[in-house]
Structures are given as structure tokens and as C-alpha cells.
Amino acid sequence: MRIGELARRAGVSTRALRYYEQQGLITARRAANGYREYSEADLRLVTEIRSLLTVGFTLEDARPFVACLRAGHESGASCPESVEVYRRKLAEIDGEIRTLLTRRAEVAAQLGAACPGCMFGPPPDRNEGES
Amino acid sequence: MRIGELARRAGVSTRALRYYEQQGLITARRAANGYREYSEADLRLVTEIRSLLTVGFTLEDARPFVACLRAGHESGASCPESVEVYRRKLAEIDGEIRTLLTRRAEVAAQLGAACPGCMFGPPPDRNEGES
DNA sequence: GTAGGCGTTGACGCCAGCGTCAAGGTCAAG
DNA sequence: CTTGACCTTGACGCTGGCGTCAACGCCTAC
């Protein structure tokens, strides 16, 4: 398939696909006229990238997953490099959550001091986030 | 005082001060030779801006606080516009925390599926963030 | 005079992940 | 032949808060 079809099926823009290629995440066979030609495996790669991005990963983070799929594994997370990225990201997210909780407490304290009676409820509980 | 001294006393770069001025957050009287001249009140404004930025506010968010101080109030948070920014920010932070908790759960689930036994403990609890 | 430590404005660089034109080539349908 | 949908590369724009030159003026000390 060509880039337009891949874009539609993957739910991304053609610009994004060319960008991923430029970043070395995906590659494309070229037809005689210069058009990019993609396979079903490429669709799989792009959907993997997209799902990772939507969870807050960067394109750099996605590299090991793509490499893992390219290496023939069924899941992009089957390789130790991918697992390592997961662990790193988990720690990173935890750090951000802690930072935000600290900020929230500071801002809430300031708001409470400036305007007693303006407060809502408590910070979001971790139970809410679990699906 | 001139820009260098203000920068040292406020703990920011001169570039930052000129940027705040360009954004209309602070203003400076000009000496005969064109040098910016600041007062103690300006130092107060800059420290207010800095403390807000470190808590995750943008310069845009800081505007009402600066205006409040300029209006003669002792605290930048004494004005209703500032309080409104606090409320907005609080809600914003809560949203980000919820997003991160959701992501954390998703990533943890993926990690658990890809590598059973790789998990650490639970997500950070809200009690940790409160000083 | 001159070294050098202060100040001035202007403008590009950075980070990420693209959006959005610009200016064209390709190909099938009518 | 022409229209029009598709494709190509190249390059600037965007968001925020500055860092970092560049090229120059001011002022004091020696």
C-alpha cells in the first residue's frame, strides 16, 4: 500500500509517517516512480508507535519496540530493551506524579491562605486512574 | 539598582529579566545613558514571578499576581484574578495527575504482561506529596 | 589610552512532533 | 488533453522560557 492508505488505516497523517521514517523508525520500499510502498508489517509498526506515543512515550522510547517487532517477535515488548524502557518510563511517571502531588499541595496551601473557603475536595486518588 | 544587581539578588539571568519586560510583566525606568533602573518593588515582583514559575505556572499565569502586587497589595494572591488562576491551576494539576495515574496503570499492565516479576511497588501515594 | 566590566538591542538555537504551505512529478478517469 | 487525487522533497511555523552569541556603547581604573 502507499502512504495515504497507510495513514488512513493507522489513523495518522502522512506527514507523521514521513517524520517517523526520517527518524529511522520505519523504512519504505520505493516503487519505480519513487512512491513509498508499505506492507502489513509496517502498519503493525505504526500502530505500535502510535499506542506508545499516546501513553506518553517519545519516539526515542519507541525505538526498541519497533526493533523488537522487526526482529520477528509478536509483541514489541518481548525484548529486554523494551522491558527496560517500560521500567524507566514507570519510574519517570512516578517521579512526575510525585512532583505534581507536591505542587498540588503547595498551590492548595496558597489558595487556602489567600481565599479560605475556596477549596474543593482532595487531590485525585490513585484508585481513580485504574481501569 | 541596575539589571545585573537585580539579576543576582533575584537569582535569575539578565536575559530572563529582559524577557519578562518584553512580555510586559515588569517595566524599568531608564537612566540617562539608557540603562534600566530597578527599585526594591521590582525585586519583589521578580521573586513572585520566580516562585510561581517554579511551582509550574506560566508567565501568563503570573500576570494577575504581578498586577496585584503593583496595585499595592501585600501579597500577589490577594486579588480575585489571582485566586481564579490558583483554582484553574489546581484543576489543571488534578487533571494531569489523573492522566499520569492512568498512564502509569497502563504501562504497569504492559510491563506485567511482558515481564512478570519485573514490577516494583504501587504508584506513589498522595500522602507522600504533602509537606 | 586602554583594558575590562558593566550595559544595550537583535536575532538565532533549543526541545518534540508534527502542521502547513511551496512547487512540482505521476497516474487513471473522463 | 485536462482535471484532480495522489505522491515527492524542502523548509518554515509553532509552543515557552530562556541560553548564547554578535556587535556595539558606557564608564571607571590604571
* A90:B104 CB<8 A: yes
For position A19, what pLDDT does the model report?
Answer: 97
User: How far away is chain B from the Cα of A30, in angstroms, using its nearest Cα?
Assistant: 34
pLDDT of B129 strictly over 70: no
d(CA A101, CA A105): 6
Alpha helix segments (H runs only) across chain A? 3-10, 14-22, 40-54, 59-70, 80-114, 126-129
The domain of B29 spans 3-117
Residue A7 belongs to some domain of the structure: yes
Q: What is the CATH number of the domain that holds A104?
A: 1.10.1660.10
Average pLDDT over residues A70-98: 92
When CB atoms are compared, the residue of A113, A124, A129 closest to B104 is A129
Question: What DSSP element (H or E) covers B37?
Answer: strand B36-37
Provide the number of structural domains found in chain B. 1
SS3 for B15?
A: helix
In Å, what is the CA distance from A30 to each residue of A33, A49, B29, B89, B101?
Answer: 8, 22, 63, 49, 42
**Chain C positions under 7 Å from a protein CB?**
6-9, 11, 16-20, 26-27
Residue A12 belongs to some domain of the structure: yes
When CB atoms are compared, the residue of B113, B114, B124 closest to A97 is B124
Chain mean pLDDT for chain B: 89
